[in-house]
Structure 1
């Protein structure tokens, strides 16, 4: 049985609900029930009556209060999902982040939509806006492609749509990763994160953010063949073309810093993705894709310095009202009906 809503670790205005999945696992849904004023000037059309579902990235969970507050001020109902084996959903004995196929997250998303009161709801009811970061952006893109007619718009925050070494690198090593995933799915791969990203974002170092270090470790969870194989297969599906039937906004930094040692350049770049490769791959998502590059942004756009976060929110505010409007064809058909 799904648990009732209760207090969340983020404090006033936030609530959480444990979602019991059919396979015995659990996910956790967070909602923002803040009572702050609805600022109609956040969007160009006077507010957006929609549901927003946020999904985090690898070795992560939802803690970005300001993101929830932005959507609340814009008029939307904000929810965030901690997937099974992540964050609030972690329990003793579970392998953090373990998954063998990104399709496995369909159960988490279905349970979240049901708890949001959207079971079976289509976009003609209240719009559903999917907001995904990094691996969460890849997961939501694949989900939207498999579930046409449900999402009204996707906002992707540095989605991990392509391997850092580009498609050629992914295709070269994918068979070996797949073999290890079948034979030794949980054997940790050599670590690739020396803690550069944590240094850029953590308030204990050069960043400004406080968060749970057990749910978001300094060097991330150990990468396993099972997880990397799941990501590679998802990226291959994107490369083949998804045909998402909703407009997509992709937010990216203007540059990457993928070096193994610390530099001040890490404070003004994406240290996790090859942003140029992702920008190119974004065009495989849908017929209508907007790629928006933000100078000096970090991997999580919304953990960047305040001026960059503000610019990102403003770009969403300009893009989303137009994205949610009916297509020109629908408008033209309505205007010419009966002529």
Structure 2
């Protein structure tokens, strides 16, 4: 029996700890959050969404949970091992050396979701940034498990294109072989956080320990794993369920702050995302959101309203709404 307890997000949010196989750092867990506000209508949902966060992040996007709940879908979010609610003091934050490692918590989470839904429930996974890469690769390896895939600015290629990946790959692989947890130079200037935080002109408050500025150190073994995922995407995936990929209409990446960054993706090259997205499977919809931030759910209100409208349009078109 699944045991749920009160979550840090407050009323209606619950968390369940998923024990995983220990690794070289000891105990490992993942955390499954669900949105289950009290209701007078004991109706069992037949649809569910499982959300997977990005790098140096955790689930705190309550508006996303409430959007899906209002449309009759059960909402769950997974804090992957060594992130957010799952991070333990002795662990290297966010570290894995193979993105396939996350199969364990994805499958454990989906087992809980399917038990809640029942035999005929339909499940969709939604991934943001690195979580989008993880979700796409998992869906490719597990055909028939999902009924849809939504990707919010998924990290499908290294900034600078595959050329940079081919040039830098051997050096990263060599370092990862001998010093997999060696931190690479941190190039996060904090501009993305500046667009989000309520302290610097954004709208959002969040746990700075779980979502620090600058971000967690990028380590060689982890980056090698991500680049291997990018190479797999570049060769083409075969995800047969409908896929929706949403990204900002514009990228602004600069060593100097600009107010333009409040209406653009300052993390990834959105043109690369659009080109790679169509290689994920035969049925891919690409939507570009003008004024969108890297996490479209955290964009300013008029922009995120457009994001949710596009989400509704797509789910209705494919019979999932």
Corresponding residue to 2:175 among 180, 183, 187: 180
> Contact between 2:242 and 2:318, CA under 8 Å: does it hold in 1?
yes
Q: Which residue of 1 aligns with 2:86?
A: 89
Question: Residues 22-171 of structure 1 correspond to what in structure 2 (within 5 A)?
Answer: 22-23=21-22, 24-35=27-38, 49-118=46-115, 125-171=120-166
Unaligned runs of 5+ in 2: none
Q: How does 1:1-339 map to 2 (within 5 A)?
A: 4-23=3-22, 24-35=27-38, 49-118=46-115, 125-324=120-319
Runs of 4+ in 1 over 3 A off after TM superposition: 35-38
Q: Distance in 1 between matches of 2:40 and 2:248?
A: 31
CA offset at residue 36 of structure 1? 6.5
CA deviation string 1:29-85 (max 9, x = no partner): 0000024699xxxxxxxxx84110000000000001110000000100000000000
Bigger-Rg structure (1/2): 1
- Whole-angstrom CA distance in 2 between matches of 1:181 and 1:277: 26
Deviation at 1:167, TM superposition (A): 1.1
Q: Whole-Å Cα distance in 1 between the matches of residues 304 and 16 of structure 2?
A: 28
The separation in 1 between residues aligned to 2:260 and 2:65, in whole angstroms, is 29
Equivalent-residue separation in structure 1 for 2:289 and 2:46 (angstroms)? 27
Displacement, 1:147?
0.3
Stretch of structure 1 that moved more, 177-186 or 136-145: 177-186
What SS is found at the alignment partner of 1:167? Answer: helix
Do the aligned residues in 2 keep the contact of 1:34 with 1:72 (CA within 8 Å)?
no
- Where structure 1 has 5 or more consecutive residues not aligned to the other structure, the ranges are 39-47, 326-339
Taking only aligned residues, the RMSD between alpha carbons, in angstroms, comes to: 1.7
**Post-superposition shift, 1:321?**
2.3
Size of the alignment, in residue pairs? 312
Alpha-carbon distance, 1:245 to partner: 1.2
C-alpha separation between the residues in 1 aligned to 2:239 and 2:47?
19
1:104-147 alpha-carbon deviations (Å, 9 max, x no partner): 0000101111222359x88xx21111110000000000000000
- SS of the equivalent of 1:204 reads helix
Tell me if the contact between 1:177 and 1:229 (Cα under 8 Å) persists in the aligned partners: yes
Once the two structures are overlaid, the 10-residue window that deviates more, 81-90 or 172-181, is: 172-181
